[in-house]
Amino acid sequence: MAATMSRPKLVSQIVEQAPIKDPTPGELPLFESLVYAICREDAGVNQANAAFEQLKERFFDFNEIRVSTSREIAGCFEGCSEPRTRALRLISLLQDIFEATFGFDLESMAKKGVKSAQKQLARYKSVNDFTLAWIGQQVFGEQTIPVDAGMRRCAGRLGLVEVECAKDTEETRVALEGMVSKSKVDSFVGGLQMVAQTYCHEMHPDCTHCTLTKACPESGKFSAPVPVKVAKPKASKKPR
């Protein structure tokens, strides 16, 4: 079992796991940041960027995406988890924004400030705690941390947050906000997402190859996948 590591040290190790060239598109306007957040939640930065590019390449504009089928849009999310669910979320987001503004320009909303924008956007079904924290951090420069399901799971196993706390996204976000300095948030999110998606799967985490295995108190506590027994076909009796 790994010795318990101090939280500041653990945070530093997570920051070091971030992809070396984190190409998160900087300074996207509010509307595009919302779309990007749907790509980025529970996805690696490269997967998210590829999905975001595909959306812009395959469709004429966001209105065309709004009126397309989830099946057509899901093709852009290949490589991300649950492509169809993401597509449905995106359609729902675009529909809500279109009904509220008759377009996709949210700059007047952005000018009113983070609290007002988050309050309005929180009414949309497709917008969750991750989305709100993402735009808070990326668009408004807030000291906050977008937390997705994989990050929450991994933070609990690593002992960054208590197990009970890790069951709730908002509680996990608030706890993590006190541990990570503003300048390190991007790398922390990228690093924790990388570990969560590459090794710290919900079922059968790959602790053996995990880059944080020495720092993790839960390392090796999970059972290996049970091999599926394939029954041998019975030899058929030869006709006499």
Of 97, 28, 34, the C-alpha closest to 63 is 97
Instruction: Please tell me whether residue 10 binds ligand SF4 under the rule CB under 6 A.
Output: no
Instruction: Please tell me whether residue 76 binds ligand SF4 under the rule CB under 6 A.
Output: no
Instruction: Please tell me whether residue 158 binds ligand SF4 under the rule CB under 6 A.
Output: yes
Instruction: Please tell me whether residue 213 binds ligand SF4 under the rule CB under 6 A.
Output: yes
Instruction: Please tell me whether residue 87 binds ligand SF4 under the rule CB under 6 A.
Output: no
Distances (CA, A) of 186 to 28, 56, 209, 237: 15, 24, 24, 66
Interface characters, 218-237, with ligand SF4 (x: CB under 6 A) = xx------------------
Give the nearest distance from C-beta 136 to ligand SF4 in angstroms. Answer: 26
Interface characters, 182-201, with ligand SF4 (x: CB under 6 A) = -------------x---xx-
Of 156, 154, 132, the C-alpha closest to 144 is 132
Distances (CA, A) of 17 to 22, 40, 91, 186, 198: 11, 17, 33, 11, 11
Size, binding site for ligand SF4 by CB under 6 A: 15
Helices then strands, counting H and E runs in the chain, come out as 12, 0
Interface characters, 117-156, with ligand SF4 (x: CB under 6 A) = -------------------------------------x--
> Quick check: 131 and 41 in contact, CB under 8 A?
yes
The tokens for 232 are 């041998």
d(CA 119, CA 219): 40
Select 110 or 195, whichever has its Cβ closest to ligand SF4: 195
Give the nearest distance from C-beta 131 to ligand SF4 in angstroms. Answer: 25
Which residues are near ligand SF4 by CB under 6 A?
Answer: 154, 157-158, 195, 199-200, 205-207, 210, 212-213, 216, 218-219
